Amino acid sequence: MRTDTHAGALTSTLPARRHVPAASSGGVVLDVVVPVYNEEAGLEGCVRRLHAFLSGNFPYGFRITVADNASADGTPVVARRLAGEFAEVESVRLEEKGRGRALRAVWGASDAPVRAYMDVDLSTDLNALLPLVAPLISGHSDVAIGSRLAGGSRVVRGAKREVISRSYNLILRGSLAARFSDAQCGFKAVRGEVAERLLPLVEDSGWFFDTELLVVAERAGLRIHEVPVDWVDDPDSRVDIVATALEDLRGVWRVGRALASGALPLGRLARPFGDDPRDRGVVGVPGGLARQLVGFAAVGVVSTLLYLVLFSLLRLGVGAQAANAVALLLSAVVNTAANRRLTFRVRGRSRVVRHQAQGLVVFGIGLALTSGSLAALSAGSPGASHATELAVLVAANLAATVLRFVLFRAWVFSAKHEQGQGMDGGHTAEGIHQDHGDSAYGDVSRADGTDKERTSA
């Protein structure tokens, strides 16, 4: 079983999604992980109920993996006994705590095409399991999550947890621009080839693991499927809400900073379209035009306002030509940087100086247009008012803007020139491979007499 992936193998994009055949991985299509810590009392009931449900309702081969997070009670004994009783149940022992650590170890070592997990308390109704994994098996989606906040879900829990859950998801939407509705529901699944690329990019080993995985997947453009669930709160939950909330906020800050700096090699998770001929690129028609036009227009509005403010301020002390040159230069530097990051999605520091130099050439063309317009106004109406000057500059800038977009798209930030340089988040692997310390667990070996228990140090 695979437990690590060489950086060189991660530089290419993901293959197109395909329907998972029923005979995959020796008949095992779905691996359901149940992370546990000191769950001696509830583990057996959970596994028996889950096994009965999958045996009676799931049409593919399955495996249930109990991931024991260094339990100090009789949990390992119960897990081994269940593994000996059911051919579809395995037991994995980890010597360190952390739900994220357990999922990274077991998902990373699994050979199943679809890998899921659920909480041991089975708060989520199992009837949502098939809708959860069906889009992954069919090849429609990359990641699937159960949501307690989506329309159609039915939830029974106290007001305190309800407020905390909704507040946390609002924080994610406001700070990380997350579009998924529920980050922390313990009911998720991922396709195997996606897990192999995604897990090395997820640093957290605790409760924030879920959120980080979803944010990275979403930012990389992977398709996340949400399933409304019926969910009943476990009154015996031992999660420390305050400590978990603080850890989550630290995680939000860390991931937000990594995304802003372009440190995450999201290009490793890029997906091509499928086999439908309508999904194939049309020769001579570059992609992303509509999105780039919107981004360019937004940046252009802001930089034009900045330019006009600077021109007006400088015009109080210098002539119109000097004020125009300085204002246009400063706003051009800001405009190039903003379009580089927001419109054309070029991350990292590679070629930034070259981009600014090319942007200054574009600036020179804009300067010639606007300066020429001012010179023509001065020659035709020597006593023109400041308002007239501004109107002429706005008209000249509109013409320069059209030309600027064409030059930016075809020359400065051309996809051909930026291939492998960070376009759309796609950094190369050199210099950015991260060793997260707890993300590699070595080979997961079978250790007991039944040849079914796996141990990870």
Note the Cα 445 to chain centre separation in Å. 31
Cα gap 347→328, rounded to integer Å: 25
For 201, residues 6+ apart whose C-beta sits below 8 A from its C-beta are: 216, 264, 265, 268, 269, 434
> Which residues are known to be catalytic?
210
Distance between first and last Cα of the chain: 16
Cα gap 345→78, rounded to integer Å: 51
Cα 99-29-113 angle, rounded to 5 deg = 65
Cα gap 334→157, rounded to integer Å: 49
Cα gap 97→243, rounded to integer Å: 15
Locate 395 and state its tokens. 């008209």
Cα gap 317→247, rounded to integer Å: 53
Q: Which secondary structure element, helix H or strand E, spans residue 80, and what is its range?
A: helix 75-85
Q: Are 362 and 407 in contact (CB under 8 A)?
A: yes
Cα gap 155→435, rounded to integer Å: 39
State the CB neighbour count (10 A cutoff) for residue 414: 15
Residue recorded with tokens 């300085």: 326
Note the Cα 321 to chain centre separation in Å. 47
3-state helix, strand, coil in the chain (%, to 5): 50, 15, 35
